[in-house]
Amino acid sequence: MVEVQTAKVDTLKQLATQLRIDSIRCTTAAGSGHPTSSMSAADLMSVLMSKYLKYDFEKPELANNDRLIFSKGHACPLLYSMYKAAGAIDDKELMTLRKFGSRLEGHPIPKLLPWVDVATGSLGQGLAFGLGMAMSGKFIDKLSYKVFVLLGDSEMAEGSVWEAFHLASHNKVDNLIAILDMNRLGQHSQTELGWDSAAYAARAKAFGWHAIEIDGHNLDAIDKAYAEAYATTDKPTIIIAKTEKGHGWPEIANKDGWHGKPLSEEQAVEAIKFMGGESNIVIKVGKPASTDFAPKKNSGAFECPAYDKGIATREAYGDALKNLGAVNPNVVALDAEVGNSTFSDKFGKAYPDRFFECYIAEQLMVGAAVGFGNRGKVAFASTFAAFLARAFDFIRMAAVSRADIRLCGSHAGVSIGQDGPSQMALEDLSMMRSIFESTVVYPSDGVSTAHLVNELSQVPGISYMRTTREKTPILYKTTDTFPIGGSKTLRTSKEDKVTVVGCGITLHEALKAYDELKKDGINVRVIDAYSVKPIDAKTLIQAANETGTIVVVEDHWPEGGIGDAVLDVFAAHEQGEGLSNGVKVVPRVVKLAVKAMPGSGTPEELMNAAGISAPHIVKAVKAVVAK
């Protein structure tokens, strides 16, 4: 039996009208926005917030609050109007929509509004976010909350939506309820399926969902659909609601050319008058069921694995993740069907209830990780580094959400060998460095990998670890520390002529080059820049002041990688960084990087062909010293 708030049909209708009118008012005041996309879903949201949504707006942090995600984030005028109707904001603030300094931005942002869980607006992402939240509640926290995701029909063409469909049904996530606002019109024309509700239902059912087709403006039908969704078990539900874009005012209802276009002041006055005038209904949204839920706490300190021989950093990642999971019950791991290569399966075998296989669906994996992170989980998501590129928009939006997720990309660079360039991430460091306030690390041995996994578990924001396919020698002791923003100077003397900077596989090539150069009487400093972002500017500046030249060697394209991270240290910035930050000598920076499209071959052959092996480092250093 579903417990609902008391709400009469007349009240529901009045509230829906208010939501439409307020969506018009705030967008007209802003001079931009999406009133018609908001008006189509007003009836759906009126019934939801009046009778079914369980949410304490005074305590948005409550673990058992239902979650509401507007995947069609451009319809946020409706969302903000709902906040007004719930008494969370007042009318004055509603009228600040899209104005500089307002919390009510053109798409919802969680950092600004405590009732927003994730940033949306890049279509096709909300269902993946919601799935992560729903799985966290159902499988880990054992809470009763529901996750509602409002979808637009245009975004149903996005593959990422169907990635979420497949995993939600596979895992029988019955606390996830999608609401499709099928208003027929996209940005410039009819959507792919228009009002073909049966086609959407057939696709949803084929993916294992329970599908309910309704008239999205029939309040009784909407009410019954929500009740049916609540009563459905063992599978997620989608409510497919046929609606009109701009419903409520005949002048714009179901008419093309009104997407993202506010009404003029004159049109707004006419529309509001037609719909019965402004109102200020405030409803009492139901509170969630009380619970004594409390976040789980660490049971001990992280233990760094001990290695007596070389190991691939990708395997050390798996060892560290397993050890971290032993002491931190909030750690969850997601993988894209390569867990036996990323070695996240070590965690999965130890803690199967906290491991989530996403199959070959990298966008979904990142989106679900964001959802888990939103629910207080320490989420690690891993796959081949090259394949994270297809999830870049999800990563970018995760940063907009101020999400906390940790990504690990294995099999990076030409050093992976025979698989060829389709598998070689040569863009990943550039990609991840470009993410707002991201953290990027690239360990060189098993010990540093393990310590950095633990460090990333405590770092807020988006973080990325690059791991190597080949085994590498152990360089460090388990008692060493690897703070984010640090580095390790492995070879140094007062006679150093050049500084060589590497990390990951190229650090070992730099150490080989050091031995060869030493034989010829040339001393070089070797720095392990394991923290690529933030990079250890202090150590690099000291090295520049003392040696004058820095040779950076990386298994990556020259654009945007470690070499550019080093160069940024010495760039002059208006904020007082760079040249004014203790730099006495502006160094010559030589970048050894992959410059030609690689093919197949052994790691040694490919690194040599790319010009990033020890002999090439020796040659570059000697060329510098000879000048």
Q: The tokens of 561 are what? A: 């990688």
- DSSP state letter for 479: T
**Taking phi first (over 0 means left), then psi (-120 to 50 degrees means alpha), and beta for anything else, what does residue 117 get?**
alpha
| Nearest-angstrom CA–CA distance, 270 and 538 | 64
Parallel, antiparallel or unpaired: strands 378-384 and 524-528: unpaired
- Which position has the token pair 């090539």? 509
- DSSP state letter for 50: I
Q: Which residues lie closer than 8 Å to 58 by C-beta, 6 or more apart?
A: none
Q: Which residues of 461-471 are buried (b: 16+ CB within 10 A; e: fewer)?
A: bbbbbbbbbbe
Q: What is the number of alpha carbons within 13 Å of residue 68 lying toward its C-beta?
A: 20
CA 554 to each of CA 334, 335, 457: distance values in angstroms, whole numbers, following the listed order: 28, 26, 26
Closest CA to 443 of 474, 421, 416, 415: 474
The amino acid occupying position 336 is A
How many other C-beta atoms lie within 10 A of the C-beta of residue 53?
22
How many other C-beta atoms lie within 10 A of the C-beta of residue 221?
18
| Nearest-angstrom CA–CA distance, 172 and 166 | 10
Q: What is the number of alpha carbons within 13 Å of residue 485 lying toward its C-beta?
A: 5
- In the annotation, is 574 catalytic? no
Q: Can you list the positions of beta strands (E) in 281-438? A: 311-312, 331-335, 355-357, 378-384, 405-410
The amino acid occupying position 220 is D
What DSSP string describes 264-322? PHHHHHHHHHHTT--------PBPPPP---------S---PPP-SS-EEHHHHHHHHHH
| Nearest-angstrom CA–CA distance, 285 and 49 | 6
For every residue of 171-190, which 3-state class applies, written as one string? CCCCCEEEEEEECCECCCCE
Q: Of the listed 163, 213, 244, 362, which one is catalytic?
A: 362
Contact 40, 243 (CB under 8 A): yes
Parallel, antiparallel or unpaired: strands 471-472 and 311-312: antiparallel
| Nearest-angstrom CA–CA distance, 558 and 561 | 6
Closest CA to 425 of 460, 379, 392, 472: 392
Q: Which residues are catalytically annotated? A: 362
